[in-house]
C-alpha cells in the first residue's frame, strides 16, 4: 500500500515533468512567433517598397519605417532608388528625403513607379524616409 502510494506520486511527478518540458518549449515558441507582430503593431511600422530600377525592376526591398522616426536607407539602396511606394496609405503618409537623417528636399508622392520622369530630381537621390500616421480626409 505504501509502495503503491509512492509509485502513484512518482507517476504523477513523472507526468508533470514530462508535460512541463514540452509545455515550456511551446510557450517559448509561441512567444517568439508572436513577437514580430507585437513589435510591428506597437512601433507602427509602415511598409515601404523600393526598387533600384524604375517600374519595380532591379533589386527591390521592403523597408519597415517606424512612424515619426527618420529611416536612413540601406547603403546599397542609398541614392539608388528609382521606384518607391508606401504600401499602407490607408493609415500613413511618407516623405522621401534627398539627404540622410531626413534633411534636404523631400516629396510626398506616395507611389512613384518611375522617379526618373518629370524633372527626375529624386531619381537615385533618396537617402532617408519619414512616415507619419494619417487617417484619410
Binding mask 27-46 for Ca ion (x = CB under 5 A): --------------------
| C-alpha cell at position 49 | 517598397
Footprint on residues 79-118 left by Ca ion (CB under 5 A): 79, 82, 98
Residue 125 within binding range of Ca ion, rule CB under 5 A: yes
Nearby residues of 87 by Cβ (< 8 Å), 6 or more positions away: 46, 47, 48, 49, 62
Residue 127 within binding range of Ca ion, rule CB under 5 A: yes
CA distance 48 to 61: 8
Pair 63, 70: CB distance under 8 Å: no
Shortest CB 76 distance to Ca ion, Å: 11
Residue 128 within binding range of Ca ion, rule CB under 5 A: no
With CB under 5 A as the contact rule, the residue among 87, 93, 124, 134 that binds Ca ion is: 124
Sheet holding 111-112, edge to edge: 60-66, 45-51, 83-86, 111-112
Q: Which is nearer to Ca ion, 46 or 51 (by Cβ)?
A: 51
Q: Which is nearer to Ca ion, 82 or 86 (by Cβ)?
A: 82
Amino acid at each position: 500500500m505504501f509502495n503503491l502510494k509512492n509509485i502513484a506520486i512518482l507517476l504523477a511527478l513523472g507526468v508533470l515533468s514530462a508535460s512541463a518540458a514540452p509545455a515550456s518549449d511551446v510557450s517559448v515558441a509561441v512567444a517568439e512567433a508572436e513577437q514580430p507582430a507585437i513589435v510591428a503593431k506597437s512601433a507602427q511600422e509602415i511598409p515601404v517598397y523600393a526598387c533600384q530600377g524604375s517600374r519595380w525592376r532591379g533589386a527591390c526591398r521592403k523597408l519597415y519605417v517606424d512612424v515619426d522616426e527618420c529611416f536612413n536607407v540601406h547603403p546599397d539602396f542609398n541614392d539608388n532608388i528609382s521606384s518607391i511606394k508606401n504600401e499602407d496609405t490607408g493609415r500613413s503618409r511618407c516623405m522621401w528625403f534627398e539627404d540622410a537623417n531626413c534633411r534636404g528636399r523631400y516629396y510626398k508622392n506616395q507611389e512613384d513607379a518611375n522617379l526618373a520622369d518629370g524633372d527626375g530630381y529624386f531619381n537615385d537621390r533618396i537617402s532617408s524616409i519619414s512616415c507619419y500616421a494619417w487617417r484619410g480626409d
